[in-house]
Amino acid sequence: MKNIYVLILSMVLLLPNLSMAQGCDEPSTEGVNVFGFFQPKFEYNQMDVDDDTNTFDFNRARIGVMGAIPYDISYYMVLETSPSKNGGTPYLLDAFITYSRYNFAKISMGSFKSPISMELNTACHKLHTINRSKVVMQLATPDRDRGFMILGGADSTLFQYSFAVTNGTGLFENDNNKTKDYAARVVLNPHKNIKIGASYKYGESASITEGVKDDERTRIGADIQYTKGAFMLQGEYLYGKDVGSYTTGGGCGEELEMHTGSIKRDGMFLMGMYRFTNNLQPVLKFEYFDSDKDLGNNTEFCTTYGLNYFLNDWTKIQANYVYRAERDHEVDNDIFMLQLTVKF
């Protein structure tokens, strides 16, 4: 751990100054910005065999630097240091350099979030529920990858877009074939209160079965967000088709598990929230995930009852009770979580 802090300090001392592209924060235009956030969490899991578990842990613990170099060059780097990620070994999460002379076409190269899904591209410390939806964690993987991205637009323009070419193997593996993954996302802003998004991703990877052509994966998504004063409503749908092999798990650096075979999956969520003047924000979220569309009675449903309390602009407390129901055979696997987020 000491080496991690030495690395961060070295970057602060040796590198000059940013405006970044697809990161979580916007830095000032002068000097190097050190930033980050951490999220201590308590989690209670109900078990079907009457052997419930509970634990204190860190959901995420991230530290990074960002800055600007005259002219039009910016950099952004984040390390994940949570003991619950990557077997407790800190690792490089986001690290990209951006050329941003033209707002309509910024160019980034490095490792970054895949530009699909509204919820995936919501910063972790700004999530309205403690966990992302299951469909996002299952189908938007790998959630981060290495490559280059072109993006442009802002909330004040009619539309925003991002297009990325990546390895398709995630953060920890080099590409294993001659093709790349292609991902794109477009967001329309037809009204100040409405955002409408669409996502698409296609990629090929070396087959896990020897002598067979490359495996394929396709992702298609749509989302919408409506805000009116302190009220917000969000909804998102994702569809995935995998040929040859597919993965389960993943999300925020979690380990992926590889499976042989072809599969079609989909899911969605609908979430509403209202922030009162006393900084309390109740959240209600409905979601479903179909883990194999060619099979019946395997859909999973989740309802999250949440309450957020904002102590200030940098600190919030979140409490979530997640009621989980399986169509075929319901089991006791509900979750209660309590999380504190501090951003600096």
Q: What is the DSSP string of 282-330?
A: EEEEEEEEES-TTSSS-EEEEEEEEEEEESSSSEEEEEEEEEEEESSS-
Tell which residue, 119, 128, 125, 152, has the closest CA to residue 40: 125
The whole-number pLDDT of residue 62 equals 95
The whole-number pLDDT of residue 28 equals 52
Range with the poorest average pLDDT among 70-84, 183-197, 273-287: 70-84
Vertex 236 angle, CA 148 and 271, to 5°? 125
The whole-number pLDDT of residue 1 equals 43
Q: What does the pLDDT average to over 229-252?
A: 89
**Is residue 96 over pLDDT 70?**
yes
CATH of the domain at 266: 2.40.160.10
Q: How confident is the model at residue 300 (pLDDT cuts 50, 70, 90)?
A: very high
Tell which residue, 78, 6, 5, 66, has the closest CA to residue 31: 66
CA distance 199 to 182: 11
The whole-number pLDDT of residue 17 equals 33
Tell which residue, 75, 69, 64, 10, has the closest CA to residue 37: 64
Dihedral, CA of residue 324, residue 300, residue 133 and residue 286, to nearest 10: -70
The whole-number pLDDT of residue 88 equals 87
**Is residue 8 over pLDDT 50?**
no
Q: Which amino acid is at 57?
A: D
Place of tokens 């078990």: 47
The whole-number pLDDT of residue 30 equals 62
**Is residue 251 over pLDDT 70?**
no
Q: What is the extent of the structural domain holding 151?
A: 2-343
Q: List alpha helices for 28-110, DSSP H.
A: none
Number of structural domains found in the chain: 1
| CB-facing half-sphere around the CA of 296: CA atoms within 13 A | 0
Vertex 205 angle, CA 211 and 259, to 5°? 80
With a CB cutoff of 8 Å and minimum separation 6, the contacts of 149 are 21, 22, 96, 107, 108, 109, 112, 115, 162, 163, 164, 165
Please answer whether residues 204 and 179 qualify as being in contact, where contact means their C-beta atoms are separated by less than 8 angstroms: yes
